Amino acid sequence: MSTGGASPGPVARAVGPGRAASRVSTLELLLDLVFVFTVSQVAHVVAEDPTWPTIGRVVLVMVAVWWMYDAFAWLTNQAVRDTAAVRLLLIGAMAGFLVLSVGLPDALEPGGVPFAVAFMVVAAIHGSLYLARGGAGTTAVLLCVAPLNVLIGVPFLVAALLGEGRDAARWALALLPVALILVASSIARRSPFDLTASHFVERHGLLVIIALGESVVSVVRTSGSTGWAGRRSWRSSSRSR
């Protein structure tokens, strides 16, 4: 892993493919914002049904989503040329993550087709960008990992098409993405990626800051609506008296 010197420009302005990045770009921050929406969706699902089956299902889904998010962190840690095509593909990945986030409550359930399709589209965009811009040293590894990343979405698609009352089959399908991730990660560990530790620290630190900010906004919104409802209730009771 390379920890090269600091660069004045963001990752998108690095000189060539295969070079490690040292700063987080604006597009990465936008992707982080969309991913934080995914985290808030998870919180809503658990809040509505805080049972162990729901928590287990959400954990298994988030393993796959987090794997794909970190896959983009690895991609942008490598130098990606700042071209119109790259920007459009990254924006397309953000749109895919947004659809994935909206469909997350129905993942592994009937109606979860948008989640599964969006996941496979995001994985395909990631693999295409990495093969095109990640450097010659990563091509052999990505030719194995990229198809596995797309295949992770297939169990979600099958689960969505099963219909009602197939819980045992859905739990079995929910474990397949985890198995595929373990295989892909074991392949990626043998790869010659040239990565920058400082970029990972900054990227995930900013993600935590965004998540904390979203949490504060959610708490304020909830407490504000509760307080307003309480004030209205108090005024109604006062008038009735």
pLDDT for 136: 66
User: What's the average model confidence in pLDDT over 157-182?
Assistant: 87
Top pLDDT among 209 and 60 is at 60
165 Rama class: left (phi>0) / alpha (psi -120 to 50) / beta: left
Map residue 78 onto helix, strand or coil: strand
Going from N- to C-terminal start, the domains of the chain cover 11-226
Tokens of 122: 């995001």
Residues 109-164 have pLDDT tens digits of: 888 899 999 999 999 999 988 887 766 667 778 888 999 999 999 999 999 888 77
Tokens of 5: 């010197």
Q: At residue 173, does pLDDT exceed 80?
A: yes
Distance, CA of 157 to CA of 64 (rounded, Å): 13
Distance, CA of 215 to CA of 217 (rounded, Å): 5
Confidence of residue 1 (pLDDT cuts 50, 70, 90): very low
> What are the residues whose beta carbons fall under 8 Å from the beta carbon of 197, sequence distance 6 or more?
1, 3
> What are the residues whose beta carbons fall under 8 Å from the beta carbon of 130, sequence distance 6 or more?
75, 78, 138, 142, 146
Residues 21-44 have pLDDT tens digits of: 556 777 788 888 888 888 888 888
pTM of the complete model beyond 0.75: yes
Residues 182-201 have pLDDT tens digits of: 999 888 887 666 677 777 77
CA 2 to chain centre: 25
